[in-house]
Structure 1
Amino acid sequence: MSEGLATALKSLRAQLGRDLFPLAIGNVEADRHAQKELTGQLDDYLIPRLAAIDAPLLAVVGGSTGAGKSTLVNSLVQDDVTAPGVLRPTTLAPTLVASTADAAWFTSAHVLPGMPRSTGDGQQPGTLRIVTSPLIQPGLALLDAPDIDSVVTANRELAAQLLAAADLWLFVTTASRYADEVPWGFLRIASERSTAMAVILQRVPEEARVPVAADLRRLLKENGLAGTPLFEVPELPLPSERARLPEMAVRPIKKWLDGLSADHEARADVVRRTLSGALDSLSVRVPALAEAAERQLLGANELRGLVEKGYDVGMADFDEAMRDGTLLRGEVLNRWQDFVGTGDFMRSLETRVGWLRDKVVAAFTGRPAPDKRLRVALESGVESLIRATADGSAERSVDAWLSTPQGRDLLERTGIETAGKLGRVSADLPPKAAKAVRDWQGYVLDLVREEGADKRSMARAASFGVNGLGLLIMLTVFASTGGLTGIEIGVAGGTTVLSQKLLEAVFGDQAVRRLTDAARANLRQRVRDLFDEEARRFYTLLEGMESTDTHALRAAADAVEQRKTDFPGGAA
């Protein structure tokens, strides 16, 4: 009957097997802990218990430091199976005490499958020690857990894991510590999840027995645990030769446990209550995890958006540099003067376009070196601009990530060296930029060839040469002079006007605008592609973080909810 529910639980477990919380967003440690706790309960309790409803009960003895858990277990079996003491923590590895008839069940991986087993006398941290006792009746085993408030983090985590794997909690406290907050945090969880439990109040002085027990019952009622069995163990000196109480002191607890062991229906009721409570808790715990995971998605998207913005700003800087005449400074201006002549030559543009055309033709045919040097200077200028704007984008992106908790944490985990490299252009960018500019120049030359092939003025275009006209088109891409001052304005303005006039004389004004727009758009797209490649260095760090399918997680929880009717209720 429970096969459908078991399948649904396994599907949910698969969804929880991914890292849902890689980024430092909100109280991420609590989110990670909740995921680990739920995953552990599925592995250690829900899935194995559903597969074996009639298996022996596991009663976990838990509580605070020094509450006397180990002493209680030794006293119940009248044997020193665990090692109590004054040093803390005492329980370094949990000890499970079972009847000989149930030993095989607990020695195998049916319960707490992730923990290795041992049957020797020593306590090996991280292992589950199995011992047998003739005073433990078949059908129920006792597990002595580490302290829930241990100074050792691993012990606290193990204690919580063991309690989550229990059919029954035996919660041990003392007259002096019964109101401590840490134990009540666990007891409230038990209440929320309807976990079957009993509370054992130890070390109760006779004069305090009545008021302390009454106050503890009051606290149990206030925390939703009214009716929880409460056993009182008086404060008694322990015999020096053994670490256990007299049999009469724990007789009521032993009688109650033996009754559970002997009563099949009572055991089934414990399983039904605890298992149903754990299943019901999924309808709250999984959506909470999914909501927290969605915050992770938003955080990852925010980091991606910051990088996109950083490189968009870089692209805008590149666009502005194409418009403001920045590329017509320095070396390009010098090479242009070498190419066409002096300032007097440019001042005669308006009235002597034909003469200028002849002059430029002569420059192409008689002095090829200036043409080549101008093209190289322009190429070098564009490459430098690409590197500078990409550098700025990388630096902006790193700074933006450092301004967010998740980005700062992610960069810190990548290491200082990697974070430093991300703040600069990659080593691959300079050669890629050089190739992109050369390819762009080739594209412009192809545009000139195609345009010239369809013109009646083909002979005139041929007189300038494809290279010459292509170079003029490249110069018109950077047509504005807004960023120049002084004499540079006149020189750059002459550059623009000369290029424009000569091209219009060959192709016409509409064709020149079309060629210039196509050349500018093509260059821009090549730069955009380079920037996208640079940004991918950041996106690589986000791989997997933006693909968490919270819908699948919620759907898996819904499937469990729908299949809970398959649960046979723990009946035989």
Structure 2
Amino acid sequence: MLTALVRLHSALQEVRLPLALPGVEEQRADRAELVTQLEDYLIPRVTTMDGPLLAVVGGSTGAGKSTLVNSIVGRRVTESGVLRPTTRSPVLVHHPADAGWFGQDRLLPELVRVDRPTNDPAALQLVASDAVPHGLAVLDAPDVDSVDASNRALAAELLAAGDLWLFVTSAARYADQVPWELLRQAAERSTSVAVVLDRTDPDDAGTVATHLARMLASRGLKDCPLFTVPETTLTDDGLLPPGAVDDLHAWLRALAADADGRAAVAIRTVLGTIRTLGGRSHLLAGGVQAQIAAAARLRESVAAAYAESVVAARAATADGTMVRGEVLARWTEFVGSGELLRSLEERVGWLRDRLLNAVRGRPQTAELVARSVAVGLGSVLVEHAEVAAGRAAAAWRGDPAGVSLLAEAAARGDDLGRATPTARREAQALAREWQDGLTRMVRAEGSDTRSTTRYLTVGIDGLAVALSVVVLSQSGGTLAVESPSAAPGAGAVAQRLLDAVFGEQAVRSMASRARGDLDRRVEALLTREGARHQAVLDDLGLVPAAPEHLREAARRVDDLRFRSTRGTGGGHGDAVPARPTP
């Protein structure tokens, strides 16, 4: 069982619930409670089943818990008073011979051990006293309904770490809702409970005790002992007068002296607590599964948004619409009125010098065309990156799981609905790198061409520019029907220019390779843009296998518990001895 509980604890450590799905706050609280229960109680208790029984004293504000503990011990070991909250730091009173059981590595390991009074809620004050019987320890906890939220949380944590609850209430507070919710949980876990009705007018004690006993019975706690402490004047030391807690003190001593009784209480509480682990763990696994499914849904929406933009960007760079505006003007300057093309289509030979004069200055014009193409291509890619980011953000805004992620990113200064700040720089770098690739392609092809004169006439830069115009005007391997805003026949002119130098087959091969290179670069750029959305999801720390790990661990614990209860006949008898007859 110890191994199974440790594995369950490990499986719970894998659980992440970062997305703001419906019910997630309750699931987070449940996970924290399960982990705390394993760390603070179950694993330490199963490790040392023969250790002292821990009785946690809890209850409502002003019920007199601290005064009761001090009166049991016979001296002031925990602070009491009218200012609330009184008990901020828990106090554990034990027999001196039991001191070794409450070290830092045992019960409530997260609380620092101290030997003096403190208001530090992260500390546990240990007090050794012969007034507490050997084999039993008493832990004074903060108010379960404290005005301080951290006090309430600590009280619940301490109660969950107890083998036995000494639940203190008063005639004025016994019907309050908060204590009864905790008592309901105790009944569900089969935690052993004794109730102390404190500060009760002797004339009303019988009526109030009878009503309280009925309430306990209706909530599955009919067998728990009920002690009554009358309203009385405290001694000068702030203790109840002698005899006020004799019944309770005698009951605790009888329980401590009965080794079998102590073991029965511990076993009942341990198995009762373990019984609740399975169902709660399976419910929690379902919550984790919902988180993983939601994250996958968000991933798919991002992937779809950017995949759509990749397709759109490829289309926008292949339908001739880019060969317009500044690009069109610079291209027209470069090719002139067709003189360059006509010259190339003639036999050159003795006209070489004349042709060189005709294209004097064109290398500079080619650079202007290339620059315009780079700027235009960069702008188109940024536009599609913006569209993809907006589409992904819109999908997240329509999903409860995505709304908080967008808000958290915005708080960090990252607007996931816009392209990254570096998108324009990267897009323009992409365009320049693609053009450099075209230049290398033209140079490699030109080294084998027979039309050296024509190659030299136009120049490497000019031919690379022409190749870019062909690619940007080509869809599906053929020249696109150019838009009305594009230059009439701009792509065709560029292709004829290249055909005149390299031949039709070579140009077709170069254009295909250039198109493939551009498509790969466009996809890579937009994938990088979408990666920041994916990184947000990666940072959630969700483990796909976590739900199944949790279910497997819970099933193992359930199987062992079932074998244990079956081996003992399915019950544990009356774990808490009845209140002794006065």
Which category of TM-score, normalised to the shorter sequence, fits these structures?
0.7 to 0.9
2:168 matched to 1:134?
no
Q: CA deviation at 1:158?
A: 0.5
Contact between 2:113 and 2:125, CA under 8 Å: does it hold in 1?
yes
Equivalent-residue separation in structure 2 for 1:148 and 1:559 (angstroms): 33
RMSD: 3.6
Question: How big is the shift at 1:62?
Answer: 0.9
2:156 aligned with 1:192: no
The 10-residue stretch of structure 1 (425-434 or 153-162) with the greater mean CA deviation from structure 2 = 425-434
Pairing 1:473–2:467 present: yes
Segments of 5+ residues of structure 2 without an aligned counterpart are 475-479, 574-582
Larger relative helix fraction: 1
Residue in 2 that maps onto 1:329? 324
Alpha-carbon contact 2:95-2:131 (below 8 Å) kept:
yes
Q: CA separation in 1, counterparts of 2:251 and 2:452?
A: 108
Verify: 1:278 aligned to 2:273, yes or no.
yes
Aligned to 1:88: 84
Partner of 2:57: 61
Give distance in 2, aligned partners of 1:124 and 1:8.
Answer: 34
State the match for 2:140 in structure 1: 144
Alignment of 1:402-421 (within 5 A): 402-414=397-409, 416-420=411-415
SS of match in other structure, 2:150: helix
The answer to whether the 8 Å contact 1:353/1:501 transfers is no
SS at match of 2:126: strand
Describe the shift of the 1:162–1:340 C-alpha distance in structure 2 as closer, same or farther (beyond 3 A).
same
What corresponds to 1:559 in structure 2?
556
Counterpart mapping for 1:178-327 below 5 A: 178-234=174-230, 236-239=231-234, 241-327=236-322
SS of the equivalent of 2:17 reads: coil
Residue type of the alignment partner of 1:559: R
- More displaced stretch, 472-481 vs 459-468: 459-468
- Cα deviation for residue 181 of structure 1 reads 1.9
- The alignment's TM-score, normalised by the length of structure 2, stands at 0.84
Alpha-carbon distance change, 205 to 361 in structure 1, aligned in 2, over 3 angstroms: farther
State the SS of the aligned residue for 2:489: helix
Question: 2:490 and 2:347 mapped to 1: Cα distance?
Answer: 13
Please point out which of 529, 541, 544 is paired with 1:534.
Answer: 529
Which piece of structure 1 moves more, 169-178 or 158-167? 169-178
> What is the aligned residue count?
557
Cα deviation, 1:469-505, whole Å, max 9, x if unaligned, reads 44333212222777844xx34x2x3202223444556
1:433-512 aligned at under 5 Å gives the runs: 433-445=427-439, 467-479=461-473, 484-485=483-484, 488-489=485-486, 491=487, 493-503=488-498
CA deviation map 1:266-313 (0-9, x unaligned): 000011101111222221122222222222222333333343344334
Write the distance in 2 (CA, Å) between the matches of 1:47 and 1:499: 78
Number of the residue aligned with 1:78: 74
Alignment match, 1:119: 115
Q: Distance in 2 between matches of 1:483 and 1:25?
A: 49
Q: Distance in 2 between matches of 1:237 and 1:262?
A: 30
Query: Match for 2:379: what amino acid?
Result: S
Aligned-partner SS, 2:125 = strand
2:255 partner SS = helix
CA distance in structure 2 between the aligned counterparts of 1:555 and 1:514, rounded to whole angstroms? 58
Opposite residue 204 of structure 1, the aligned amino acid is T
Name the aligned partner's letter for residue 434 of structure 2: W
Q: Does the CA-based 8 Å contact 1:99-1:136 persist in structure 2?
A: yes
AA aligned to 1:54 is D
Report the 3-state secondary structure (helix = DSSP H, G, I; strand = E; otherwise coil) of the residue aligned with 1:83. coil
CA apart distance, 1:175: 2.5
Distance across 2 between alignment mates of 1:412 and 1:18: 25
TM-score, normalised with respect to structure 1: 0.86
Query: Equivalences for 1:390-405 in 2 at 5 Å?
Result: 390-398=385-393, 400-405=395-400
